[in-house]
Amino acid sequence: MKLLLPLFSAAVLAASAMPSLAGDRYADRPPVMVSPDLSAPWVLQLGHAPGIVRQNRQAAQQQQQPRQRTAQPDRVQTTAVQAPGKRMVMRPQINPVYLPQEVAYDGAEKPGTIVIDTTQNFLYLVEKNGKARRYGVGTGKPGFEWSGTHKITNKRVWPDWRPPAQMIKREAAKGRYLPTYLAGGMENPLGARALYIGTTEYRIHGTNQPWTIGGAVSSGCIRMRNEDVVDLYERVNVGATVEVI
């Protein structure tokens, strides 16, 4: 009889846990978590970030002269992290130069304009009085560079993803098979927010691979850290001008 009581108790506990586990499958999409100091929190939250798309993490630097008159910074640094009883793990961290900051800006664009410098991998949101808010971004890898002037035509929270047929075919040839549809969420390569650029297939969007920020890594879209794209999303309206240079 004494042996039956522990078994009965374990069965009751297991049964009571099942509804909550089932309910978790249909929970709301995860909220955006913003670090107070904006220092690469998503790397620490996601760990190895099991995303659908695994792009090359090596930045392919372009040879043009940069718009910003500074040397090209190192994109990624690593930090050793060790939990109690666990082996040492090297986690990538973004170079602080790619974190949001207010900078002097001498361009002729009107306040509210988004300027994306694909040679230095910075996005500028032009402000008043010769200032701009600057963010680090990931841009098109070799063969996927582009430039032009467009408008923001749409904005979405936790956007879904439908890879273009050409991308699906191109990635399949490399042995990487993409889904035809992926709902918004932590596993989605478009991240927490998306701003749609004109009638193109390009977007300014978040990412589940924050270590790629600062590199030439995308198929033409402009990647931002999730914290940063949320910040930009709140500051920019549909109809804003986007200049990609």
Catalytically active residues are 205, 221
Chain mean position to CA 41:
12
Q: Helix-strand-coil percent breakdown of the chain, rounded to 5?
A: 20, 25, 55
How buried is 147 (Cβ within 10 angstroms: 0-12 exposed, 13-18 middle, 19+ buried)?
exposed
Tell me the chain's radius of gyration from C-alpha atoms.
21
Chain Cα centroid distance, residue 30 = 15
Smallest CA-to-CA distance from 96 within 83, 79, 112 is with: 79
- What are the angstrom distances between the C-alpha of 91 and each of 94, 130, 151? 10, 37, 37
Task: Name the residue with tokens 């986690």.
Answer: 91
- Closest listed residue to residue 211, CA positions, set 115, 136, 101: 136
| Backbone torsions φ then ψ of 121, nearest 5 degrees | 60, 50
Q: Is 130 exposed, middle or buried (0-12, 13-18, 19+ CB in 10 A)?
A: exposed
Using CA atoms, how far residue 208 sits from 34, 51, 196, in Å, is 14, 6, 18
